[in-house]
Amino acid sequence: MSQRLDAWLSDVGLGSRSQVRKLIRGKRITVNGTEERNAAAQVDDHCQITLDGKTLAPPRRGHLHIILHKPSGYACSDNPSEAPLASDLLESTWRDYGVNSVGRLDRDTSGLLLFTSDGQWLHRLIHPKRKVPKRYRLRYQGHLDATAIEACANGIQLADDPKPCRPAELILEEPGQATMILHEGRYHQVKRMIAACGATVSALHRDRFGGLDLPPDLSPGNSRELTSEEITAIG
C-alpha cells in the first residue's frame, strides 16, 4: 500500500510530519536513487529510501509488544518529574512507537512488566472480568498463618475500597517469604492485603503474567519484543 513520503518517514520514526518535511526540503532524502523534494510523493515499503545516503528500513506494520524486567526504583509513569521511569529503559524507537505499560508496578517493585502499542490488547489484559492471573514473590516482616491464607482466599475487604478483593491465593513458604497470585490489579494491592493480614511487605517481585513467566535470561533493566508464542501464552 502506498502512502505519502512524509507520512512514511514519520512512521519510520524520524519525527513529525513537519520535521520530516525539513529533511525533504533539505535535499537529504532519495527514493530509488533519485533526490525527492515532494513530500506528497507516493512511496511504499518496496521503495529504496535513504537519508543522507543511508538506506532506511520500512516502518513497523502492526502492533508492538514488549517485555521488560523492571528493576526496583523505576516508576510506571509518563510524568518526567517522577523519573527515573520504567519506559526510559526501553529502546527510543519503541518509545517513539507509542507504547504504554500493561498495568503498573510500584516503584519499589521489580519484575515482569509488559508494554504494548495495542490499546485493545492492553484493555483486555487489565480488565477485571478477564481475571488474568499475576504471580508475585514477596518478603515480609511479621507473622502470617493459615488465617491469612483463608482471608485472601475469601476476598479481603480493603479500607476505602467499595468492594472486597477477588479471591487470591497466598502460599506461605520459608519464614518471611510467600507467593501471592492475584486476578485483578488494585493500587498497592499486595502490600495492602498483607498489611490487612497483620504483616508488612519488605520486597515484592512479579515473575508471572497470565501464562508467561519472566524469562530467566532477561536481566533486570533489559527488554525485548515478545514472540507470537509468548503473546498467546499471556492470554
Residue 113: CB atoms within 10 Å:
25
CA distance 119 to 161: 27
Decide if 145 is catalytic: no
End-to-end CA distance of the chain: 32
Residue owning grid cell 503474567:
209
User: β-pairing, 212-213 with 199-209?
Assistant: antiparallel
**Any idea of the CA torsion for 103, 191, 130, 167, to the nearest 10 degrees?**
180
| SS3 label, residue 157 | coil
Active-site pick, 45, 106, 108, 207: 106
CA distance 173 to 20: 57
Q: Which residues are catalytic?
A: 106
